[in-house]
Amino acid sequence: MAEKLFESPFTNRLSVVFRCSGVYGIRHGATGRMYVGSSKDTRARLYQHLSALLSDKHHSRYLQNAWRKYGRTAFFAVLLERDVPAWKLIEREQAWIDLFAAYEKGFNARPKAESMRGVRWSKQQNEARRQSNLQTWSNQPLREKLSARFKGQRRAVWTADSHKRASRTLIRRHAENPEWRKKLLEWMRRSENEGKRLAASKAALKRPGVYNARVRQLSEARKSPVANAAIRKAYFEKFNRSALGFANPEEMDLECLALCAQVKSFREIGRLFNIDHHGVSSRLRRLGAA
């Protein structure tokens, strides 16, 4: 029998070992019958299979019938091959389907490995899918059932290390696909999404690990004149300070100093420039005046 890289009970807390591009399997423990698939993120794809099986809506009726008959505890998630390039996934999946006879004796619904990757949906098809999703999630009993099922389950906690990994992934994606970056920025700048993003950021900063990592990051930036200048320029452009008549952050600092010399309070100066009194204080400290 072919060697399996990793195997674990098929639960909603799968090991991070599955987080890779590769070929996976769903194995029935008693008989060894196998469902074989492939994905750029095997763990995410296995979660999709699990959701479909729990909802009694899996596309493979053979796997769904066995799940209904034997129950969740009878099945195992298997990592068959990892770190497979995206262009080679279908080829490797087909090799494992043939090896396990996953169509003839297992749970695969089709004899050939196929993928919808790269398929472009029409506007009509996207709208039909959207309406279908809206209809599904308007079902209040279903929502309550799902809420009860996931209630009490711990969600992943973001740490400084996980934030670094996510940052590296996003940097790579931005470099590979500039158009994706443009669409993401447009989505984030929508008024309905801006509020959600700010609320999520505030909630994240309440966690000590995230807050301390952010403080360290800003402290390091202050030590680097180049990084500090870049941050100040980004904030200057983000809040459109040029509309107040300033060409750069330094001009704004000098104007704050001049108003302070007129015995204006920090709050009064802040209201003029649409910043809080802490921002005014930091600008004056930068000039050695506070």
pLDDT at 224: 66
Spatial contact of 87 and 25, defined as CB atoms under 8 Å apart: no
Q: Tell me how far apart the alpha carbons of residues 224 and 243 are, in angstroms, rounded to a whole number.
A: 28
Nearest to 114 by CA among 37, 172, 61: 37
Q: Tell me how far apart the alpha carbons of residues 132 and 126 are, in angstroms, rounded to a whole number.
A: 10
State the amino acid at position 154 in one-letter form. Answer: R
Going 54 to 60 to 61 to 67, the CA torsion angle's sign is negative
First to last CA, the chain: 75
Q: Tell me how far apart the alpha carbons of residues 38 and 49 are, in angstroms, rounded to a whole number.
A: 12
Instruction: Please state the domain extents for the chain.
Output: 6-100, 160-212, 239-286
Could you tell me the maximum CA-CA distance found in the chain, to the nearest angstrom? 87
Q: Tell me how far apart the alpha carbons of residues 88 and 81 are, in angstroms, rounded to a whole number.
A: 12
Q: Tell me how far apart the alpha carbons of residues 188 and 163 are, in angstroms, rounded to a whole number.
A: 19
Q: Tell me how far apart the alpha carbons of residues 164 and 167 are, in angstroms, rounded to a whole number.
A: 5
Angle at 111 between CA 72 and CA 11, to 5 degrees: 20
Q: Tell me how far apart the alpha carbons of residues 136 and 90 are, in angstroms, rounded to a whole number.
A: 31
Contacts of 44 (CB under 8 A, 6+ apart): 19
pLDDT at 227: 62
Q: Alpha helices, DSSP H only, in the chain?
A: 42-54, 61-70, 89-100, 123-137, 140-150, 160-176, 178-188, 191-205, 208-223, 225-238, 249-261, 266-273, 277-286
Residue 39, Cβ density class (10 Å: 0-12 exposed, 13-18 middle, ≥19 buried): buried
Show the tokens assigned to 274. 């649409």
| Residue matched to tokens 């802040």 | 270
pLDDT at 245: 78
pLDDT at 177: 78
pLDDT at 223: 67
Contacts of 28 (CB under 8 A, 6+ apart): 34, 66, 70, 74, 75, 107
Spatial contact of 88 and 16, defined as CB atoms under 8 Å apart: no
The residue ranges of the chain whose pLDDT is under 50 are 1
Could you tell me which CATH number the domain at 6-100 has? 3.40.1440.10
